[in-house]
């Protein structure tokens, strides 16, 4: 596996030098979200690398698409126009091409039926396409629902997506990430159906919002979003990380990404309690338990998927023993989530 990755890397080095350094810009809108007082719209402006994913792509095509994602050229200090309900709002991209626009808008929560998504138009103010047209797209915004019983925050890698984070030197993780596409990546058994069920109320309406949390870089957002669609997993906003050199506050935010994202959602939805889902491969149980200690009335359940490595599972059991009041559950199969939540 190591030699195969190495072979594709050296082959790709020659190809990278041939890419056009002046690719047209594109807007990558991220799934956004709203409460009753404001909307947070997120995205990134970067060069369009022309990534096209097909089901029958081989390892070389998958590898080159992965390199294009990681090699993304960001557009900094670009003015972005957001139009929501016929009102314009402006923001500017940061050094990495990211933009976040917080719009103070009163939103009336939905009273019946499924969770709804509204849309905002997003465009670049000062830059046009090569053909002279407007560079624009739409951002989907998750609307609040009056009937929500709880929110769900779930990790992605080795929780819903088989990633093999604990593999030797993370070689299997790299293999899965770089040499497979969205059609070849595997979810855990029955996880899509389980997540659909826990988002529904007793009448079968999808009312409980779902959020995805991962240490993966934002460069993989498109792949992860497509993975949800391909595997019939409910739609929800992502919280990923920006890779690169960090120091000071940025380094702290990078290292404490998961805890900060959870605390942000707790603050953004003050009347909504949450279920946290993760896995035993890394530090989810420690992060979730720390959050629970700070907000014991807001965290309803902590559900941790077991791994093949018993030392990792034993650590989860030790945390459970050390925190008898914390609602921590170690599971082996996705279906156990239903029993715990219901």
* CA dist., res. 191 & res. 207, Å (int): 18
CATH number at 28 reads 2.60.40.10
| Cα angle value 46/48/53 (rounded, 5°) | 125
State mean pLDDT over 40-60. 64
Of residues 169 and 248, which shows the higher confidence score? Answer: 248
Q: Indicate whether 311 and 181 sit together in one domain.
A: yes
Q: Indicate whether 115 and 240 sit together in one domain.
A: no
pLDDT of residue 255: 82
Total domains, the chain: 2
Nearest to 129, CA basis, from 275, 44, 25, 258: 25
Question: Percent of the chain at pLDDT above 70?
Answer: 77
- Model confidence at 314: pLDDT above 90: yes
| DSSP one-letter string for 318-332 | HHHHH-TTS-EEEES
Q: Indicate whether 56 and 19 sit together in one domain.
A: yes
What's the whole-number average pLDDT of the chain?
82
Q: Indicate whether 28 and 91 sit together in one domain.
A: yes
Domain boundary among 142, 166, 185: 142
State mean pLDDT over 1-5. 44
Query: Of the spans 4-18, 34-48, 266-280, which averages the highest pLDDT?
Result: 266-280
pLDDT of residue 88: 96
pLDDT of residue 325: 96
Q: Indicate whether 309 and 172 sit together in one domain.
A: yes
- Model confidence at 275: pLDDT above 50: yes
Encode pLDDT of 220-264 as tens digits. 888 888 888 888 899 999 999 886 656 677 788 878 999 999 999
Pair of tokens at residue 75: 């557009």
Of the pLDDT bands very low, low, confident and very high (cuts 50, 70, 90), residue 280 is: very high
Of residues 172 and 118, which shows the higher confidence score? Answer: 118
Q: Indicate whether 263 and 325 sit together in one domain.
A: yes
- Could you tell me the residue range of the domain that residue 21 belongs to? 2-142
* CA dist., res. 153 & res. 109, Å (int): 20
| DSSP one-letter string for 219-254 | GGHHHHHHHHHHTTPPP--EEEE--S---HHHHHHH
Q: Indicate whether 180 and 113 sit together in one domain.
A: no
Q: Indicate whether 86 and 213 sit together in one domain.
A: no
Q: Indicate whether 63 and 184 sit together in one domain.
A: no
Whether the CA torsion 231, 235, 236, 239 is positive or negative: it is positive
Domain boundary among 124, 142, 160: 142
pLDDT of residue 174: 41
Of the pLDDT bands very low, low, confident and very high (cuts 50, 70, 90), residue 177 is: very low
| CB of 316 closer than 8 Å to CB of 283 | no
Q: Indicate whether 137 and 161 sit together in one domain.
A: no
- Model confidence at 191: pLDDT above 80: yes
Encode pLDDT of 67-99 as tens digits. 444 555 678 899 999 999 999 999 999 988 999
pLDDT of residue 57: 46
Domain boundary among 97, 116, 142: 142
3-state secondary structure of 175: helix
Of residues 106 and 205, which shows the higher confidence score? Answer: 205
**From the centroid of its chain, how far is CA 63?**
21
pLDDT of residue 182: 54
Pair of tokens at residue 81: 């126009």
CATH number at 274 reads 3.40.50.1000
The CA-to-CA distance between both ends of the chain, in Å, stands at 42
Q: Indicate whether 45 and 121 sit together in one domain.
A: yes
Out of 49-63, 99-113, 279-293, 310-324, least confident range: 49-63
State mean pLDDT over 148-172. 71
Q: Indicate whether 196 and 73 sit together in one domain.
A: no
Residue that has been written with the tokens 């929501």 in this structure: 84
| CB of 306 closer than 8 Å to CB of 331 | yes
């Amino acid at each position: 596996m190591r030699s195969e990755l190495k072979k594709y890397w050296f082959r790709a080095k020659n190809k990278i030098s041939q890419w056009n350094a002046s690719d047209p810009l594109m807007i990558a809108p991220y799934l956004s979200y709203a409460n009753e007082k404001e909307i947070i719209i997120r995205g990134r402006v970067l060069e369009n690398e022309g990534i096209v994913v097909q089901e029958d792509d081989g390892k070389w095509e998958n590898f080159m698409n992965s390199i294009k994602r990681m090699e993304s050229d960001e557009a900094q200090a670009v003015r972005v126009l957001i139009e929501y309900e016929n009102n314009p709002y402006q923001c500017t991209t940061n050094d990495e091409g990211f933009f976040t626009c917080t719009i103070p808008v009163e939103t009336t929560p939905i009273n019946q039926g499924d969770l709804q998504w509204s849309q905002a138009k997003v465009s670049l103010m000062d830059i046009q396409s090569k053909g002279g047209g407007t560079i624009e797209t739409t951002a989907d915004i998750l609307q609040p629902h009056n009937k929500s019983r709880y929110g769900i925050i779930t990790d992605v890698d080795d929780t819903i997506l088989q990633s093999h984070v604990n593999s030797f030197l993370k070689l299997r993780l790299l293999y899965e990430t770089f040499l497979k596409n969205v059609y070849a990546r595997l979810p855990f058994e029955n996880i899509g159906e389980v997540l659909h069920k826990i988002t529904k109320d007793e009448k079968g309406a999808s009312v409980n919002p779902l959020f995805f949390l991962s240490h993966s870089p934002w460069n993989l957002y498109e792949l992860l979003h497509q993975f949800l669609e391909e595997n019939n997993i409910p739609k929800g906003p992502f919280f990923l990380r920006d890779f690169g050199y960090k120091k000071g506050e940025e380094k702290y935010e990078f290292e404490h990404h998961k805890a900060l994202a959870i605390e942000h959602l707790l603050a953004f939805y003050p009347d909504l309690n949450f279920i946290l889902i993760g896995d035993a491969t890394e530090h989810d149980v420690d992060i979730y338990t720390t959050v629970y200690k700070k907000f014991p009335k807001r965290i309803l359940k902590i559900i941790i998927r077991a791994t093949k490595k018993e030392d990792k599972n034993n650590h989860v059991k030790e945390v459970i023993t050390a925190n008898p009041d914390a609602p921590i559950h170690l599971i082996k199969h996705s279906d156990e989530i239903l029993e715990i939540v219901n």
